[in-house]
Structures are given as structure tokens and as C-alpha cells.
Structure 1
Amino acid sequence: MKTLLCYGDSNTHGSSPMTPDANWFRYGPDVRWPGRLATLLGDDWHVIEDGLPGRTTCHDNPFDGPHKNGLTHLPVALECHAPIDLIIVMLGTNDLKAHLGLSALDISKGLRALLQRIARSPSGPSGAPPSVLVVAPVPIEETGPSAESLTGGAEKSRRLSNLFASVAAEFGAAFFDAGTVATVSPIDGVHLSPDAHLAIAEAMAKQIESTY
């Protein structure tokens, strides 16, 4: 059985769209895309979810804490779940937050830092690095309770696909653009509906089955 680690943020965690009063819940494992992916891939794969709401590529969060830094936690995840055949990296949405002041290019540099760390990791089979599938997150909309904190983020989010594809190519990683099969919920402009989770899982399953 092969091991697949899904490393992401709230859309990997399965956070529902946030209502105007900032309430949300976590979808069940049969709704979240990693759980649906596990069902689609079947018994040949062990799928591990590691999704943290608010996780960035490589930046501390001054409001919620340094544990939101994806690069800081990555070595723990790699060692904890080794040997890992494939890691899916789906981050970048939280890097769009206005207080970070990052350009789309800066966000792609955060992805590069993650891939550099994975490339040095002995957490794959036989002490080699795991294979990587880079996922460009679904572009956001500036609406709902998070709109102000994401000012300017919608335009940047639409530039991430091409930038992430280029970074993935640098490292010989596979690439998938989640925005080609799903859109964010109009309720909060960031999170995904159950149908979007399913669409992403189905597209990823096809790519994984044809590649690995």
C-alpha cells in the first residue's frame, strides 16, 4: 500500500464556508476531498489528511500564532508519516491575506521553500524524497466576513496557477490547478462546497491513477 499525505490549509481540513456571523463547521470525512480521494483510490493507497485552517506556505501569523507556518511544521509531518510515496501540497490562499503584504510572486517563493525542504527529506521510500503533486488553490473572491482581510487577494489568486506550475516544473513535481474544476463558495469567497470537494477529489484521483 502506498502512502499519500495531503498537506494544506482549511480547504484540506474541510472547513465549510463562513457565514456572515463568522460561524463555520468541519465537513465529515466522507465530504472532505482527502476522504473522497481515499475512496476513489481504493485499497492501494493510505491517504493522510494534514489540513490546518490558516496555514501559510512559510509565514508566521501574528494573530493566530507561529504554528500556522507551513514550512515550520512540514518536517514534523514528513517524519511523522514516513515513508511517504506522494505528498500533495495545496497552500497559498492564506498567503493572500492583506497583513502579509505579499505579491503573487512572493507566494510562489513560499511554495518553492516548501519544495526545497521536501527535496532534502529522506521521508520517501528507501530514504529518498517523496514524489510531489503541487495544487494551485481555487481562486478566491473578496466577499463575506473575510473580504477586508483579503483586500487585493482575488486578483493575486488568479496569478498563482501559472506561477505554481513553473515552480513545480523546477522540482520535477506534478501539477494540478484546482480552479479548473471548482470555484469557491459565494458565501465567503474562500471555502468550498461539498460539490467542489468532490470535483477536486475526482480530478486528483484521475491524475494520480495515471501517473503513480
Structure 2
Amino acid sequence: MKTILCYGDSLTWGYDPATGKRIAIDKRWPGVLRNNLGKNYFVIEEGLNGRTTLWDDPLHGGYKNGMKYLIPCLASHRPVDLVILFLGTNDLKTRFSLSAAEIARSIRVLADIVVKSEAGHHENAPELLLVAPPLITELSNFAEEFESGKAKSHLLGQYYKQVAEEYDIHFFDASEVVTASDLDGIHLDSDEHIKLGHVITDKVKKILR
């Protein structure tokens, strides 16, 4: 059995922009991935609303810091065949005052942790798929919180791709496939989750074939 760790924020947790609750397990993208891959794969959903790459959130505390939990998470689930790293949207919040390049440098730190870990089989590193988040569109509920994030979100894909090339890891830009909900401009409707799940399934099959 192959183990896949999906490490992300609310886009992995499955935040429903219509209700603020969680999208059904078989309709959020990790659940779609699990159903598509079948019984020979163990898909771990490690999504947390508000998770950043490596920043303590002054409003929510250190537990939103993705770097602090990544190492124990890898150790907890080892051996892992593939890590899907899908973070960066929350770094676009105005209170962090980060540029797109700085967010990419932050995701680089997390990629470095994974590729230098012994969380795979035989104390090797697992495969790593770096996913750039979808673009922020017209904001409604989160307009003030992400006031300057929309323009920066358009730059993340190209910067993340550079990180992937530097480390020779797998890369996918989610903005090429899915679009944020009209309801809040950040999260994905269930139809987009399903679409994303199918596309990631194809990529996972190629990586772990």
C-alpha cells in the first residue's frame, strides 16, 4: 500500500464557501483522490484552516504555522510515498505583508524539509508534489483580510515552479485547472474540488507508477 500525505490549508480541509462548513468527504479533492486510487493507496488529509507556510498568525497563534507541524507530521506517518504540499494562500493575508517572492521562499523552506527528510521508505525522502494555489478572484467575505493578495496570487505559480525546478520535484499549478468560488474569491466550490481531485489523481498515478 502506498501512502500519500496531503499537507495544506482550508483548500485541502475542504472549506465550503457557501456554508463555512466542510465539504463532504467524497467531494473534497483528497477524498476524490482516495476514491479514484482505490484500496492500494492510503490518502491522509492534513488540511488546516488558516495554515501558513512558516508564519505564526498574530490573531490565531503558532498552531497555524505549517513549518512547525510538518516535521512531526512526516515522522508520525512515515513511511510516506508522496507528499502533496499545497500552501501559500494564507500567506497572502495583508497582516503578513509578504511579497509573492517571499511566499515562494517560504514554501522553499518546507520543500527543503521534505526532500531532506527520512520520511520515505528505507529512510529516503518521499516524492514531493508542490501545488501552487488557485488565483484569488473578486473578494467578498475576505476582502479586507486579503486586500493586497489578489495581484500577488497571480505571481505564485511562476515562483513555485522555480522552486520545483531547483529541487527537481514535481509541480502543478492549480490555477490552470480550478477557479475560486464567486462567493468569496478564495475557496473552491465542490465542483472545483472534484475537478481538482481528478487532475491530481492523474499526476499521482504518473509519480507513483
**3-state secondary structure, aligned to 2:131:** strand
Task: Give, as a single letter, the amino acid of the residue that structure 2 aligns with 1:49.
Answer: E
The partner residue of 1:147 within 143, 147, 155 is: 143
The partner residue of 2:109 within 113, 121, 124 is: 113
The aligned residue for residue 119 of structure 2 is 123
Shift of 1:114: 0.1
Percent sequence identity over aligned pairs: 42
The aligned residue for residue 188 of structure 1 is 184
Name the TM-score, length of structure 1 as normaliser.
Answer: 0.96
Shift of 1:141: 2.0
Task: Give, as a single letter, the amino acid of the residue that structure 2 aligns with 1:2.
Answer: K
What runs of 5+ residues in structure 2 fail to find an aligned partner?
Answer: none
Task: Give, as a single letter, the amino acid of the residue that structure 2 aligns with 1:198.
Answer: I
What runs of 5+ residues in structure 1 fail to find an aligned partner?
Answer: none
Contact 1:87–1:130 at 8 Å: present in 2 too?
yes
Shift of 1:28: 1.5
Shift of 1:145: 1.5
The aligned residue for residue 200 of structure 2 is 204
1:45 aligns with 2:41: yes
Name the TM-score, length of structure 2 as normaliser.
Answer: 0.97
The aligned residue for residue 54 of structure 1 is 50
Q: How does 1:155-166 map to 2 (within 5 A)?
A: 155-166=151-162
RMSD: 1.0
**3-state secondary structure, aligned to 2:181:** coil
Task: Give, as a single letter, the amino acid of the residue that structure 2 aligns with 1:90.
Answer: F
Shift of 1:121: 1.1
The partner residue of 2:82 within 82, 86, 96 is: 86
1:27 aligns with 2:23: yes
Q: Which range moves more in the overlay, 4-13 or 27-36?
A: 27-36
1-structure distance, mates of 2:49, 2:38: 27
Q: Deviations over 1:77-128 (max 9, x none)?
A: 1011110000000000000000100000000001100011112211111101
2-structure distance, mates of 1:202, 1:105: 29
Contact 2:115–2:128 at 8 Å: present in 1 too?
no
Contact 1:9–1:55 at 8 Å: present in 2 too?
yes
**3-state secondary structure, aligned to 1:114:** helix
Contact 1:15–1:27 at 8 Å: present in 2 too?
yes
2-structure distance, mates of 1:9, 1:44: 26
Contact 2:87–2:132 at 8 Å: present in 1 too?
yes
The aligned residue for residue 17 of structure 2 is 17
Shift of 1:44: 2.3
Shift of 1:138: 0.6
2-structure distance, mates of 1:153, 1:45: 36
